Homo-oligomer: A and B are copies of this chain.
Amino acid sequence: MSLYIDAAHCRPTSRAPIWIMRQAGRYLPEYRAFRDKYGFLDMIRTPEIATEITLQPIRRFGFDAAILFSDILTVANALGADLSFVEGKGPVIANPVRSLHDASQLVSTDIRLSLDYVSRAITLLKSELGATPLIGFAGAPFTVASYMVEGSSSRDLRTLKQFMYSAPDAMEELMDRLVRATADYLNMQIEAGVDSIQIFDTWAGLLSYPEFQEWVIRPIRALLNRLRNPAGVPITIFAKGTSAFWNDLTQLPIQVLGVDWQADIPALGQLINPGIALQGNLDPMMLYSPSDVLKKRVLRLLEPMANRPGYIFNLGHGILPDVNPDQVKLVVDTVKEYGYERVYS
């Protein structure tokens, strides 16, 4: 087993494991060297490249878990979304879903065929990673639906909300397809050998509570109910901006609650079921601070969590592309040096 898997199951560990959301990304010069040569979608669709990119931060920093280099919109793409990545704008979907007709016209695809490249990348990675566990992932149905309706990133989801409030049948149809396709996708990843799964619900925090229950909790529960997970790989849910709703989230059949940087993780550690692990939550922008400030803030997170079995160090959101990798090294070193012995002894 590994520190990461042990912590995910709330087993005591000698120190907190650490990985970082978007750890295989643009802040690394070795990533940019690939990105200069290849399109983003080509990179995730080529198992050899996806494998190499996934391994880069493991080699450089010795993170305690690797996360598959891919994107949360692979499933949208498989369902017929005409996806591209526009420099400086992020994902763009040329054929957004805006009606029940649009939703019903989505492709009925066999995810195992259309996203076979992900399965092949996982197989390659498992042969390269040795003892380091591999995290597979998917976008949660709501967040993927948001992109499919908006057609691009949106700071307020105005188009999605107009759609959701005025055409709940169409939203239901879209979400139902996403639940089924995402379950197929995660089942494929589990069969291919991932050691853990994280579900990203990036935009869940923009919903009011009744909509959060309807379009976040209900579909994720339906998705989790469709998983075939004989080995019991731990499941993490990361729903940005929703820590106030920890009670709904921790009633889901999950092992780890990932929390954003706005949450008070020590307080959550007291509130939630002690059988659920916590993951997070340094402000990604804290990596812009002077190293002495950064180190103090990492310790400030570690100290209150040291006595709670089930804590995984991470940022509270993805690492930003202009962060200095030396700052990441400082974070990793600080976490690794902070053995829990000093607390237990």
Contacts and interface: CB of A to CB of B under 8 A. Distances in A.
The number of times this chain is found in the oligomer is 2
B241 A165 contact: no
Given A156-B285, A288-B166, A208 B261 contact: yes
A209 B244 contact: no
Contacts of A243: 244
A220 to B, nearest CB: 17
Contact of A161 (B267, B285, B300): B285
Most buried by B among A165, A205, A245, A289: A165
Given A156-B285, A243-B244, A244-B244, A262 B206 contact: yes
Nearest to A161: B285
A328 interface: no
Contacts of A207: 262, 283
Nearest to A282: B208
A314 interface: no
A158 B290 contact: no
A8 to B, nearest CB: 23
A210 interface: yes
Interface in A267-292: 267, 281-283, 285-286, 288-290
A264 B209 contact: yes
Contacts of A290: 165-166
A286 B208 CA distance: 10
A293 interface: yes
A100 interface: no
Nearest to A290: B166
A300 B210 contact: yes
A166 B288 CA distance: 8
A165 B205 contact: no
A342 interface: no
A162 interface: yes
Nearest to A168: B293
Nearest to A259: B244
Contact of A165 (B158, B264, B281, B288): B288
Interface in A129-155: 155
A267 B156 CA distance: 24
Interface in A19-53: none
A236 B316 CA distance: 30
A263 interface: yes
Nearest to A155: B155
Nearest to A266: B209
A224 B328 CA distance: 40
A321 B289 CA distance: 38
Interface string A180-215: 000000000000000000000000011111111000
A229 to B, nearest CB: 30
17 contacts: A161-B283, A165-B289, A165-B293, A166-B288, A166-B290, A206-B262, A207-B283, A208-B261, A208-B283, A208-B286, A208-B316, A209-B264, A210-B297, A211-B283, A244-B262, A244-B263, A244-B264
Given A208-B262, A210-B297, 5 more contacts: A165-B289, A207-B262, A208-B282, A208-B286, A244-B244
